[in-house]
Amino acid sequence: MPRVLAITSEKGGVGKSTLAVHLAGAFTERGLSTVLIDEDGRVGSSLRWAERAGEAGLSFPVLTPDDVKPKKLAAADAVLIDTEGRPKRKELRRLSERVDLILVPSGVSALELDSTRELLDFLLEAGDVGRKTRIVLTRVPPVGHAGEDARENLRDEGLTVCNTLVRQYAAYQKAAELGTLARDVRDTRAAVAWADILALSRELL
């Protein structure tokens, strides 16, 4: 059976779809058969990303829920779900019943961290949901210790945080505009950005 990971957030602008697309690319590069499902019917950022790829395409399929075939998922090593933006909390509880891991991306500003803490407090009260949840710190400033400090503060509060920090680089924005991955854009920091994603992928699977 595939490992099923969902990426969700109650706050916009934290790089949810960017993380979903890039993790799918990293798993695929590592030789894992990967499927990305875009469940955000209102925005469909992952689907739009794949459409911008054009004929070149991405190295993995991006599907709508209606396109999902059980046999295709059964043959995959990893299934990533890009959830709807700001889902209702009851939907998060239902989500936990069909996934192995829920990733919650968060920036490192005080407002973003407070929002993440509030969501994690709710999920931890829900038992299994909380145990399946990990915070991923994204858009971390490449210079300074803001990411490390945020990670350790959250851990001190008893929250589970991925060790890898996904730092903020222009390569991600360029990748979104071109419908490709950060590793494939012309940018001096593209390789460093991709190294963060690969490190996170190994931490998860």
What does the pLDDT read at residue 5?
Answer: 97
Q: Which of 42-56, 93-107, 137-151 shows the lowest per-residue confidence on average (mean pLDDT)? A: 42-56
What does the pLDDT read at residue 128?
Answer: 67
**12-19 average pLDDT score:** 84
What does the pLDDT read at residue 108?
Answer: 95
For residues 101 and 132, the answer to whether their CB atoms sit within 8 Å is yes
* Domain range list for the chain: 3-204
Question: In a 3-state reduction of DSSP, which class is residue 70?
Answer: helix
What does the pLDDT read at residue 27?
Answer: 98
Q: Is 178 exposed, middle or buried (0-12, 13-18, 19+ CB in 10 A)?
A: middle
Q: Is 127 left (phi over 0), alpha (psi -120 to 50) or beta?
A: left
Reported pTM: 0.94
pLDDT over threshold 90, residue 130: no
Phi, psi of 34 (to 5 degrees): -130, 140
**136-152 average pLDDT score:** 97
For residues 182 and 190, the answer to whether their CB atoms sit within 8 Å is yes
3-204: which CATH architecture? 3-Layer(aba) Sandwich (3.40)
